[in-house]
A and B are shown apart, each in its own frame.
Chain A
């Protein structure tokens, strides 16, 4: 029997029709208003924050529901893709994005030449009561404001209540020291035979921030200037790593291993711990990061809203920013997605148990007697990735590969110093102010 020589018509028709459909456009979102039109078009809001499915839906259906206008909220899969897209549109001269949402570090990477100066908008919104530190950051090292503060967050710790039984004697989980933390990890290992501490050391994990804003400042009181003296901190890390879950090098978001109980104690960004607290608030506790010899170092995280150069609906974008800065929207943001307001005012009372746990931990961390705020790196330009890499490489070599701490620190100090010289970035808290580029001590 011969193979059928005639393909059924439908088999040929489908691809042809599809090709025609594609060519003639089955796309829904076409141009959304010519450049220069004001107030009429849909605002295309491209953000690295609140991208996960549930959060994004909350933004669309709840947080922005009261806005009088159309918003197309699009999440980016990571900040690299976000920067790529904005850069490509700018270089091609055809911008479709109206409003940007990103972290301070994302804007540092992007660069001020892609952003519109929003100093005037910031003046208009001065009644909102933005914290002066945030406004300083929002200037990205210049005299003009390039983004409007949007929400804030920080990094805290979360533990399964089962782990509390293994705390060292006399330790208060809300006032831990790094030493006690290491002991706690060892206790859990002895009792259960498994390493139940976790760190976000994976591909998308925020471990670099742990070193930059928590571990090193807590041990040395500084970051860049004291880098070459941070031996103790790295030895501590090497110690606790023995009782840390090996799959930590794959963890990006600690909430999943916490929920599946692969891990009992974790440090991470509040947004990446939220699911655990929301879904099972009775099984988890949230508490501040530990304190080292120099204090309880922590790093605030600032997200901001900006308008790209050449945005087609800049005016609509501005009014959307105004809407988001309003106290009601800020309260809704906290309620829905757990990010804290940046405007003056009391926190709303009616938050979910999970968010309450989070808020309490953040408050304890910020208001601790020995609190030591460490700022985000400033003035690094697009060398932010290289900066983080110094810490990741140091971690890899000392903790994962077992190299000698002193040798590695000498070599990495040289790398860090060269980087600071190249970028010319001045020191930032908790390092003392510097004239000229920050020097590695």
Chain B
């Protein structure tokens, strides 16, 4: 086969593969969207219509139910706050892990990761008691603090791998030219690390957005969306489960869409 047609075949395969993968991702999303916007009768029917008549009955009721919209707002606030706090605390640690070989580095890695290896449900009562005693229970602020603790291991490790992928020589060069480490990092490394740091930030946001167990333990009257929707997901009928699932999904999709440019700035990468 000629080189040209081989290359063309490769491109076709590439596109076909990409499209197939995209369908694999999109079909379940479509299913839950269709299910959330089906009438209750359609939800229980069989065979279920693959393209249902759109009915906003369930969604309207759900959104109008007490507490759902405020919960949505709180989730947004908590997620962004967690993002800010986790990045601020986690990035320096990630940098240290990437650049320095210091005693206890591996222990540090293992121990921060192990905080996530403990199922949080076991800690339900002790955590709640601590939060109540400190007066930060049932508040967005308290939940931000908790979510930051949950997201921090990820933030640290992802930023560490981001910095590890940027050659040290850049900082060294900058420092030889008169910068101290801090300005070397700020001027040279940080801009290159931005896409990766944005990825870490998005992770953190999503972890906080989807977090349900700590949220349901630590809040009662000021719930975030997952905690508010949890009852619907465990006790309400199928139509409400779908509506709840969709509601959990949709805002996160929007945020990832908005932020995608900073995640995936593939074209502008400065190659060494």
Contact = CB atoms under 8 A, between A and B. Distances in A.
Interface string A71-92: 0101111100100110111011
B237 A255 contact: yes
Given A2-B270, A18-B84, A88 B132 contact: yes
Contacts of B270: 2-3
A149 B170 CA distance: 74
Nearest to A75: B231
A65 B133 CA distance: 35
Interface residues of A, number: 58
A2 B191 contact: yes
Interface string B112-147: 000000000000110011101100011111011000
A389 interface: no
A23 B237 CA distance: 37
Interface string A12-42: 0011111101110111110000000000000
Contacts of A2: 191, 268, 270
Contacts of A94: 132-133, 137
Q: Most A CB atoms within 10 A — which of B79, B143, B221, B238?
A: B221
A151 B236 CA distance: 20
B231 A26 contact: no
Interface stretch (B8-16, B59-67, B159-167, B173-181): B59-67
Nearest to B236: A52
A88 B142 CA distance: 16
Interface string A335-371: 0000000000000000000000000000000000000
Contacts of A84: 124-125, 128, 217
A27 B65 contact: no
Interface in A110-151: none
Contact of A74 (B221, B235, B237, B267): B221
A25 B139 contact: yes
A406 interface: no
Nearest to A59: B66
B234 A18 contact: no
Q: Most A CB atoms within 10 A — which of B130, B137, B237?
A: B237
A85 B217 CA distance: 7
Contacts of A18: 76-81, 83-84
Contacts of B139: 22, 25, 27
Nearest to B212: A77
Interface in B155-197: 191-192, 194-195
A11 to B, nearest CB: 7
Interface string B9-48: 0000000000000000000000000000000100111100
A53 B240 contact: yes
B35 to A, nearest CB: 12
Given A2-B268, A22-B77, A256-B238, A7 B140 contact: no
Given A3-B191, A3-B269, A7-B194, A96 B221 contact: yes
A110 to B, nearest CB: 13
A146 to B, nearest CB: 22
A3 B192 contact: yes
A77 B222 CA distance: 15
Contacts of B61: 53-54, 57
A3 to B, nearest CB: 5
B240 A23 contact: no
Contacts of A376: none
A22 B262 CA distance: 25
A163 to B, nearest CB: 16
Contacts of A60: 66
B73 interface: yes
Contacts of A420: none
B230 interface: yes
Given A77-B216, A279-B40, A3 B265 contact: yes
Contact of B62 (A19, A53, A91, A253): A53
A158 to B, nearest CB: 15
Nearest to B205: A15
A212 interface: no
Contacts of B231: 51-53, 56, 75-77
Contact of B133 (A11, A85, A92): A92
Nearest to A275: B237
Contacts of B200: none
Given A27-B140, A81-B217, A51 B268 contact: no
Nearest to A57: B65
Given A29-B222, A91-B125, A3 B73 contact: no
Contact of A52 (B66, B191, B220, B240): B240
A19 B80 CA distance: 7
Task: List the 9 shortest-distance A-B pairs measured between CB atoms, nearest first.
Answer: A18-B80, A15-B84, A88-B128, A92-B132, A29-B221, A52-B236, A259-B44, A19-B81, A22-B81
Given A18-B77, A23-B144, A29-B222, 14 more contacts: A1-B267, A1-B268, A3-B268, A26-B77, A27-B222, A28-B70, A76-B231, A88-B125, A88-B128, A88-B129, A89-B128, A92-B137, A253-B237, A279-B40
Interface of A: 1-5, 7, 11, 14-19, 21-23, 25-29, 44, 46, 51-54, 56-57, 60, 72, 74-78, 81, 84-85, 87-89, 91-94, 96-97, 204, 252-253, 255-256, 259-261, 275, 279
